[in-house]
Homo-oligomer: A and B are copies of this chain.
């Protein structure tokens, strides 16, 4: 089980959410303090947008809590839209190329969960990747394949459709191979303008997903206030203990669209002719 966090809103220093006292994504990576949380020590990643269309990407195989480089980057970089991920491997090797977020041109994607029977279905799923995208695949994870399925299925034009079609493909291949292990995911996708998240599973037991909408994050005496109604959105695996915000759980089987500090939730299974949400812009 990994943990991830997506922020979109007013530019903030990344350490506001990653390292400051109010924060706990890095704390979440180091389980010792919290009996119920597994250690997420199998690599981490940070993807961020700043002044260029292509996002920056920093991934390494060390535990996030240990990497002094990450501390420095988080302390220096101010961004209006970033993804952070701490990884607990579900089987594939610990390697930079297997760390989230994954990047393709302007896109970032990250995932928590697992495609059931991955070793069985991997070959068929990789064949569904568009030939022109195929050679960009660098690692061996189910997550990276799902990202390329989203891109193959037209995420740029209609992210909702791409999520639905990709999930349909995964579940069809799993069924064809008689896989009984479930497919579970929370995921986030962005092209630097639009932020879409998904919570879905084949067995109704998706990993947790929360969000809060707010504004300027102000750090005060080891606690942060994420004030309501100011145009920023935080989507993440679990609430950050030190942040004073109104956390809302994303229900099972939903797509989440964040735009201008507002969040809209749409049933995952909504018919494909529903209004296209992909054009929604953040900020």
In this assembly, does A93 line the interface, its C-beta being within 8 Å of a C-beta of chain B? Answer: yes
Query: Does A219 belong to the interface (CB within 8 Å)?
Result: no
Q: Are B60 and A69 in contact (CB under 8 A)?
A: yes
Give Cα A164–Cα B62 distance, bound, in whole angstroms.
Answer: 38
Which of the 9-residue segments A49-57, A227-235, A247-255 touches chain B?
A49-57
Q: Which residues of B contact A54 (CB under 8 A)?
A: 75
**Does A135 have its Cβ within 8 Å of any Cβ on chain B?**
yes
User: A280 near B: Cβ within 8 Å?
Assistant: no
A93 CB contact (under 8 Å) in B50, B68, B126: B68
Residues of B within 8 A of A96 (CB): 68-69, 93, 95
| Nearest B residue (CB) for A1 | B32
Complex Cα–Cα for A258 and B72 (A): 26
CA–CA, A65 and B31, complex, Å: 15
Interface size on A, residues (CB 8 A): 54
List 7 A-B pairs, Cβ < 8 Å: A32-B37, A41-B63, A52-B76, A57-B69, A68-B93, A118-B135, A120-B135
A-B contact sample (18 more), CB < 8 A, given A31-B32, A31-B39? A32-B38, A32-B39, A39-B39, A41-B63, A41-B66, A52-B76, A57-B68, A58-B73, A59-B69, A61-B66, A68-B94, A68-B96, A97-B139, A97-B140, A119-B135, A122-B134, A123-B134, A137-B140
Residues of B near A58 (CB, < 8 A) are: 69, 72-73
Determine whether A48 belongs to the interface, using a CB cutoff of 8 Å to chain B.
Answer: yes
User: What's the Cα separation between A123 and B126 when bound, in Å?
Assistant: 9
Please tell me if the beta carbons of A56 and B72 are within 8 angstroms of each other in the complex.
Answer: yes
A15 to chain B, nearest CB (A): 10
**A96 to B, closest residue via Cβ:** B95
Q: Are B73 and A73 in contact, with the CB atoms below 8 A?
A: yes
Residues of chain B contacted by A180 (CB below 8 angstroms): none
Q: A39 touches which one: B41, B89, B93 (CB < 8 A)? A: B41
The listed residue with most B CB atoms (<10 A of its CB), out of A65, A119, A138, is A138
Whole-angstrom CA separation of A279 from B203 in the bound complex: 50
Point out the residues of chain B lying under 8 angstroms from A41, CB to CB.
30, 39, 41, 63, 65-66
Q: Which residue of B lies closest to A92 (CB)?
A: B138
> 1/0 per residue A108-130: CB within 8 Å of B?
00000000001110110011010
A76 and B95 within 8 A (CB): no
